[in-house]
Amino acid sequence: MTDTDRRTFVTGAALAAGVAAAAPAIAQGAKPATTPQAAAYPKPPFPVQRQPWPGLASKMNPRPDHGETSYKGSGRLAGKKALITGGDSGIGRAAAIAYAREGADVAINYLPAEEPDAREVIALIKAEGRNAVAIPGDLRDEAFCRKLVEQAAAKLGGLDILVNNAARQQTRPTIADISSEDFDATMKTNVYAPFWLTKAAVARMGPGSVIVNTSSEQAGDPSKDIIDYAMTRAAVLNFTKGMAKQLAEKGIRVNAVAPGPFWTPLQVSGGATPEKQKSFGESSPLGRPGQPAEIAGLYVAAADPALSFSTGQIFGATGGGGQPA
């Protein structure tokens, strides 16, 4: 067999395997996850708006699309038990909706100030006939992180998926403008919390479980005015790759999703200056920011049992921008 023949054989086998994997869903009449046409999504300029940290999606203009009416599941996570931090809004909310529609029971964590958004998510999860658990609290507290995992596992009846998604981002023009308090809050939310949560979750997880971390394109191409945030996204990327190797022998996979610019409360609650907010996402090749609904499928893929050979992987959605290595 020549090299060309081998490549042809491997490619054909991979395509055949993909068709075979999709066949049961097609046979059952399942519909793929869909979002509205990209042309329907808003482009800059956006109205300048400010909210106190951490911000609410329900008060944004335009309001983000998390897949509330567009995401259609096909049972890819049937019977799974998932804990998602930052699950009240933004990317975490989109993942929570998608997970529930893929058949998972879902616990979400959020700050008490985000309760109005969280109530909407809990209602959406319940509407799918899934168990929905709301656990508010501050991830900067190590004791709370341990308690969060314990409560989620108890109320869900186990824990198969941990999504470390919650993050803090505040724009600061120079390093001189980043106070030690600022730096500490960002590090504890974005780096310490995933470490604490992963440590607690691994003790309860068995083979087939998955940890999904949220990184960012900032891990490889940092903006000059969110230096501390970008540092944390690089740390999460490294953490993902290292833990994937460490947990492989336990049968636990670890993957990350690396978003580019996405329209979430992060931007209107201090994550972007008014000037940057107005043109947010304009520099991406697609000329706009992503909507949370457009990345939900990657969080499903990162945890999908069908992708059991995928660990230490980075799933990206940057609108045409580069990916962190």
Residue 325: its pLDDT value, please? 65
Residue 321: its pLDDT value, please? 87
Query: Buried b vs exposed e over 37-55: b needs ≥16 C-beta within 10 Å?
Result: eeeebbeeebeeeeeebbb
Q: Is residue 2 part of a domain?
A: no
State how far the Cα of 124 lies from the Cα of 162, in Å rounded to an integer: 20
State how far the Cα of 178 lies from the Cα of 187, in Å rounded to an integer: 12
Q: pLDDT (tens digit, 9 = 90+) per residue, 220-241?
A: 999 999 999 999 999 999 999 9
Residue 59: its pLDDT value, please? 97
| Annotated catalytic residue 229 | yes
Q: Residues in the chain with pLDDT < 50?
A: 1-36
Model pTM greater than 0.85?
Answer: yes
Q: Is residue 18 part of a domain?
A: no
Nearest to 278 by CA among 263, 293, 259, 292: 263
Q: Catalytic: which of 71, 110, 229, 299?
A: 229
Residue 29: its pLDDT value, please? 41
Q: Is residue 294 part of a domain?
A: yes
Q: Do residues 322 and 219 touch, judged by C-beta distance below 8 A?
A: no
Residue 38: its pLDDT value, please? 60
Paired tokens of 104: 């998972």
Query: For the domain that residue 213 is a member of, what is the CATH number?
Result: 3.40.50.720
Q: Is residue 25 part of a domain?
A: no
Strand order in the sheet with 161-164: 132-136, 105-110, 81-85, 161-164, 210-214, 253-259, 314-317
Residue 53: its pLDDT value, please? 95
Q: Is residue 171 part of a domain?
A: yes
Q: Do residues 86 and 109 touch, judged by C-beta distance below 8 A?
A: yes
Q: Is residue 103 part of a domain?
A: yes
Q: Which residues contact 219 (CB under 8 A, 6 or more apart)?
A: 230, 233, 234, 236, 237, 258, 324
State how far the Cα of 236 lies from the Cα of 165, in Å rounded to an integer: 10
Report the chain's terminal Cα–Cα distance, integer Å: 34
Residue 166: its pLDDT value, please? 98
Q: Which domain holds residue 86?
A: 50-317
Residue 110: its pLDDT value, please? 98
Q: How many degrees, rounded to 5, is the angle at CA 63 between CA 61 and CA 66?
A: 160
Q: Is residue 90 part of a domain?
A: yes
Paired tokens of 176: 């001189």
Quote the number of domains for the chain: 1
CA distances from 308 to 18, 19, 75, 125, 199 (A): 14, 17, 16, 26, 22
Q: Is residue 68 part of a domain?
A: yes
In 128-220, beta strands by DSSP E = 132-136, 161-164, 210-214
| Residue 176 φ/ψ, nearest 5 degrees | -65, -25
